[in-house]
Structure 1
């Protein structure tokens, strides 16, 4: 059974409850000082705590989409990664599955829109990664057959899954609802992980002698999507959104490549690439590359980019609150880069907080992009 299966979670909960009841029932019989009784008490306590830990962990993974499979959990994921494509005829983007938008109110794509699962191979970086593409109902309607649409790349955190953007954060359903209410224009969403070489966390950096992740998002991805879908030309048709690690990536890509992304949104972002066990040595001693990945350094030493940024945090529950206020002030001082914010009174670093911010985010992005 899969890691995200409801049956696995139910079994873990039943095991935890059963062990708790068993511990209460058997404790009087094990209340002696003999080694067997002591060992029995220790075994019951450890087993109960382990079962509770597993149940809570599985429930958290179901809610937040940290890991998609057992292989993903144990760092053994092998179905994605950096590959070289030797079959150019297949194209850089291939649709492998389609599904309707949950809760959109129609089975036909002309009514409810469509979600397409795609495989993307970077033409220059040769990075291969899956993604989900949301197409609004208008994309399929005859009267819009010659129209091009704005597009936004939507990134998860690390080690999140692209599927969580669809099923947990409800990006397609929210976009369909807002467009139906006239609060945003119909827009294509390209939903994926920033981790295009799992299990490594590349932080959207062009790693020397490693995955060229920034180049993939700045060049290959827009090229592949524009070549397959009716997306408007130029930066005014492209935005990028992300949460946590994805939020850092979105801000960095919009700042580094204003000619590609007219807007960048960081929901609960940080502003400097970390170096830890999940990232490895991202910069290989390259000081210039390390500096460019530091948004504080970039604002101070590089020309202010002509782009619009949105950042979010909360006064209680987010560790980035003070840094976010400082980042807003730094951007405002450039007098060129535009900055907006969503600051909640309270909200943790989790899906519930980001779901509260996504409607406003999509409206903000939509108001700054054009499909033409």
Structure 2
């Protein structure tokens, strides 16, 4: 029974409901000292079962700790991820595979989940455009699969012709589920920016039939991943043509270690003080998500040519999976409209 298991969640929820009933039954049992001990134990049971239920529910939503090894820090850096994380009843035309990313440049080596469109096997001579997809924190690449149903959306948009067949990479953004890197090269931690912008593309080009040119590469992310998509796009316009941020923000909100969280890793500072690159940027959020709306509006107000900017605001919604599911199809369609098409020449 994994820490994100629905069985575990159901068991804890049942205990959380039962605990107050038990507390009411035993509250006045026993003499003075025994009654005090029983009351303290019953109150503790109520608190523990409630908190445990909330934590498991949050973990199930974010996929932060999919195994006990991840939770207790005993999982190896190169531990395999499921070849297809969907349930047997949730399979669709596109397929999942995994690619081991050797951290030649970053020193970080991790397995990466990859979505392959149905056309990938049907057209063995074709090279496909690529999107790197980033999750929030806490979270994991599998949040895209279960929380956001990404395969269903991709299959639907591709089948409808609104999106070209595209390879989507879901690389890890940290070496430790408890460590928030914000896709940066931490001075005293993993060099995740280098991993995501050098090692991941190198692994994809070595093991997959993907386009080699900048015109065929894009980025997308939600929440912290939205910041990653925007920041890496602005920092590496030679590698990526377009990026889409869903409820992202303008700065990493962590200490990088070199002060860059206040300068070159702050996208507002970058847009004010550095030349703006020729990229396409999509910024979207719900207006009722105040922090995301504030930062999205600030970035939109600072961006200008040669950046090609598109913004989308939902009237209602929060900083949650429901909002990102609503924004997801149009964001992928927008990315596909910018990226070069599948080709036998790349």
Alignment check: 8 A CA contact 2:252 2:261 kept: no
Shifted more, 38-47 versus 170-179: the winner is 38-47
- Rate the CA distance shift 1:60–1:287 in 2: closer, same or farther, 3 A: closer
Aligned counterpart for 2:256 among listed residues 266, 274, 282: 282
- Residue 9 of structure 1 and its aligned partner are, at CA, apart by 1.6
CA separation of 1:14/1:193 partners in 2, compared to 1, >3 Å: closer, same or farther? same
Mapped contact 2:218–2:241 kept (Cα < 8 A): yes
**Are 1:172 and 2:172 an aligned pair?**
no
Which residue does the alignment assign to 2:140? 161
Deviates more, 1:303-312 or 1:95-104: 95-104
CA contact (8 A) 1:97 1:118 kept: no
Task: Look up the match of 2:114.
Answer: 133
Q: d(CA) in 2 for partners of 1:71 and 1:59?
A: 18
1:7 match: 7
Task: Please list the CA deviations of residues 195-245 of structure 1 after superposition, one character each: whole Å capped at 9, or x if unmatched.
Answer: 245543222222346432222222221121012111112111000111111
2-structure distance, mates of 1:209, 1:37: 52
Give secondary structure in 2 for the equivalent of 1:99: coil
For the Cα contact (< 8 Å) 1:136–1:188, is it kept in 2? yes
| More moved, 20-29 vs 348-357 | 20-29
Q: Name stretches of at least 5 consecutive residues in structure 2 with no aligned partner.
A: none
1:31-42 mapped onto 2 (5 Å cutoff): 34-42=32-40
In the alignment, what sits opposite 2:18? 18
Cα 1:216–1:64 change in 2 (3 A) is closer
**Which residue number in structure 1 is paired with residue 57 of structure 2?**
59
The answer to whether the 8 Å contact 2:141/2:170 transfers is: yes
How far apart in 2 are the matches of 1:7 and 1:231?
39
Structure 1 residue 99 corresponds to structure 2 residue 80: no
Aligned partner (choices 120, 130, 142) of residue 101 of structure 2: 120
Q: TM-score, normalised by structure 2?
A: 0.90
What is the rounded CA distance, in whole Å, between the counterparts of 2:172 and 2:91 in structure 1?
28
* Offset of residue 133 of structure 1: 0.5
> Which is worse superposed, 205-214 or 348-357?
205-214
Task: For structure 1, list consecutive stretches of 5 or more residues without a partner in the other structure.
Answer: 82-93, 107-111, 276-280
Q: 2: CA distance between counterparts of 1:38 and 1:197? A: 42
**TM norm structure 1:** 0.84
1:161–1:193 Cα contact (<8 Å) kept: yes
1:357 aligns with 2:332: no
SS of residue in 1 equivalent to 2:109: strand
Residue 109 of structure 1 corresponds to none
SS at match of 2:164: coil
Shift of 1:328: 0.6
SS in 2 for 1:127: coil
d(CA) in 1 for partners of 2:55 and 2:85? 30
By how many angstroms is 1:10 displaced?
2.4
| Aligned residues of 1:122 and 1:216 also touching (Cα < 8 A) | yes
State the Cα distance separating 1:305 from its structure 2 match.
0.9
Q: Are residue 272 (structure 1) and residue 270 (structure 2) matched?
A: no
Aligned equivalent of 1:79: 76
Aligned to 2:202: 223
Q: Who is 2:129 aligned against?
A: 150
Deviations 1:54-77 (A, max 9, x none): 112212221232332344345x25
Q: What is the alpha-carbon distance in structure 2 between the residues aligned to residue 317 and residue 19 of structure 1?
A: 35
Q: 1:263 aligned to 2:242?
A: yes
Deviation larger for 172-181 or 210-219:
210-219
Query: Whole-Å Cα distance in 2 between the matches of residues 127 and 263 of structure 1?
Result: 25
